[in-house]
Chains A and B, each alone.
Chain A
Amino acid sequence: MSDIMLKTENLGISFGGLKAVDNVNLEVKKKQFYGLVGPNGAGKTTVFNILTGVYQPTTGKFYLDGTELNGKSQETINHMGIARTFQNIRLFSNMSVIRNVLVGLHNQKEFRCSPFTSMFRMPGHYDSEIRMREKAKEILRIFDLEEERNNLSCNLPYGKQRKLEIARALATNPKLLLLDEPAAGMNPNETKELMDIIKFIRDKYEVTILLIEHDMKFVSGICDEITVLNFGTVLAQGDTKTALNDPEVIRAYIGG
């Protein structure tokens, strides 16, 4: 086994004549924090959409832990170990906080039990339901959301909704967690807290984390390596500090 969790080879996608992502090669090591940065419209979220099966790449391939994932459906990719959050929050807003997490636990074999067992409340149901709820609470506790587990998720304040999205993604038991602007709209305190949580879950659940972020403090505070995209192509790649100080990158961000 190599120590590479995610590898993309010449990944690209075109919409009509527009090359939204072109020739992107990433190598994310296991348990690494990897950042994907770049100005608006650089194609970062498009890369996420390719990696989760929402879009099919026009060129190139991508591998998770050595397995090729091209052409797999979204739920299969999720089962194989990639989970994500969204730039615009997409919680199940009329469901309670804990139910959101329970949906994430949905497809794990250890919680299987037949619908009849559940409908007629036979012992097997309580057993698997209790284990699921315990697991869900354990995850919510990390994000300091356990107290609010019975509230509707749409009634949570914004920062907590962002955290719940990460909790829900984590519940699907991923090897690789894709976070799309996790700190967007958070104040400095919340951002700091989020950074600690992300580090904690990396260690506890041994996930690899690939994140998109505009908050450079956040990026340099957490990412080991980054890739900078601009107009769909790789502008700079490597160690965070070096890549951020690359003259090309500075030019792309502040113009000139």
Chain B
Amino acid sequence: MNIVSGLINGLSLGAIYALIALGYTMVYGIARMLNFAHGDIIMVGAYAIYFAVGISDNPVVSILGSIVFAILICTLMGVITEGLAYRPLRGASPLAVLITAIGVSYFLQGIAQMAFGAKALPITLPNLGTIRLFGTSISVGTIITLILGLILMLALTLFVKYTRTGRAMLAVSEDNGAAQLMGVNVNRIIMLTFAIGSALAAFASLFYLFSIPSVDPKLGSMPGIKAFAAAVIGGIGSIPGAVIGGLLLGLIENVCKTVPGLSQYTLAIEFGILILMLLIRPIGILGKKRRVKV
């Protein structure tokens, strides 16, 4: 096994997890809730791509068209679930919100199953071919995933750091009551957070379909739960934490898959790392301790 290709494949898989983990971590940081339905937004995006990918024979147009369509549908779905399911529970106990999120997750899966059936639908994304890099061949999809994934993460970081809206997001995550009294529209900020998280999830759906070319109603749950683990490992609530956690998990998964005899233990190892992290450093790699004032 070539080290370079292992590294690139691992980081590329990690970029997918990181993009999803960003959705978890931003929503947690700003709305103080775990949105367990976030993984299912990827499934929604995958169905959107399934229906949009045939619009053209030109591979570039087809991929661009389907990602734009997926972003639209995912963002819409994220904003709708936030508005209908989570907004009425603002200020309710965290447990009620958590259970609601799990409910929304099953609801989305159920709707998909009713609409498109439980069977996996095969999807053929246009073949983008492979390129030779450092003496190995790597698929173009993997390269796109890695590069575009990193660009998106950078853009998000810049957005939060340097825009007025980003500053308002930080203020809401520090103290939403005080932010609201300083004129920040907290509901708008939370809606925007869901929109951004869901748009990133749409990219994740496309990248995910590069390697797994079929769509089913439960498609989102495994990458969703792994990305959640990545967000926790990186320190939930921290944006760079989600990126580091995601990339790390992708690398580990790729190593497990390529080392002979280890591949059937991949999940055990990944979630084992999560458990270890929770035992050793429960706030994650970059997490911040919340000081509780008496």
Interface residues of A (CB under 8 A from B): 52, 54, 73-75, 78-79, 83-84, 86, 88, 90-95, 99, 102-104, 106-107, 111-113, 115, 118-119, 121, 125, 132, 168-169, 171-172
Contact = CB atoms under 8 A, between A and B. Distances in A.
A118 B164 contact: yes
A132 B162 CA distance: 13
Contact of B184 (A93, A106, A118): A106
Given A52-B181, A79-B183, A83-B182, 16 more contacts: A54-B181, A73-B180, A75-B185, A78-B181, A92-B171, A94-B288, A95-B174, A102-B167, A103-B179, A104-B183, A106-B164, A106-B183, A107-B185, A121-B162, A168-B182, A172-B182
Contact of B182 (A106, A121, A132): A106
Q: Residue among B179, B181, B288 with the most chain A CB within 10 A? A: B181
B184 A107 contact: yes
B171 A103 contact: yes
23 contacts: A54-B177, A78-B180, A78-B183, A83-B182, A90-B175, A90-B177, A90-B178, A92-B178, A95-B171, A95-B174, A103-B167, A103-B168, A103-B184, A104-B183, A106-B168, A106-B171, A106-B182, A112-B164, A118-B164, A119-B163, A125-B162, A169-B182, A172-B182
B175 A119 contact: no
Nearest to A113: B164
Given A102-B167, A118-B162, A92 B174 contact: yes
B200 to A, nearest CB: 15
B203 to A, nearest CB: 17
A172 B185 CA distance: 13
Contacts of A75: 180-181, 183-186
A52 B179 CA distance: 12
B180 A86 contact: no
A203 B8 CA distance: 63
B290 to A, nearest CB: 10
B182 A119 contact: no
A117 to B, nearest CB: 9
B170 interface: yes
B116 interface: no
A-B residue pairs, 3 tightest by C-beta = A78-B183, A118-B163, A92-B174
B211 interface: no
A108 to B, nearest CB: 8
A4 B183 CA distance: 23
B165 to A, nearest CB: 6
Interface in B153-206: 155, 158-159, 162-168, 170-171, 174-175, 177-186
A206 to B, nearest CB: 19
B171 to A, nearest CB: 4
A88 B178 CA distance: 11
B175 A92 contact: yes
Chain B contact residues: helix, strand, loop or mixed? helix
A99 B180 contact: no
Contacts of B170: 92, 95, 99
A88 to B, nearest CB: 8
Contacts of B183: 75, 78-79, 83, 104, 106-107, 172
A106 B167 contact: yes
B159 A115 contact: yes
Contacts of A107: 183-185
A212 to B, nearest CB: 15
A84 B181 CA distance: 7
Interface in B3-39: none
A94 B182 contact: no
Contacts of B165: 115
A14 B182 CA distance: 26
Contacts of B163: 115, 118-119
Contact of A104 (B174, B175, B182): B182
Nearest to B170: A95
Contacts of B293: 88
A129 to B, nearest CB: 8
Contacts of B164: 102, 106, 111-113, 118, 132
Nearest to A92: B174
A73 B163 CA distance: 24
A148 to B, nearest CB: 18
B174 A99 contact: no
A75 to B, nearest CB: 5
A39 to B, nearest CB: 24
Contacts of A115: 159, 163, 165-166
A244 to B, nearest CB: 30
Nearest to A153: B174
Nearest to B179: A103
B150 to A, nearest CB: 16
Contacts of B162: 118-119, 121, 125
Contacts of A92: 170-171, 174-175, 178-179
Interface in B111-166: 155, 158-159, 162-166
B185 to A, nearest CB: 5
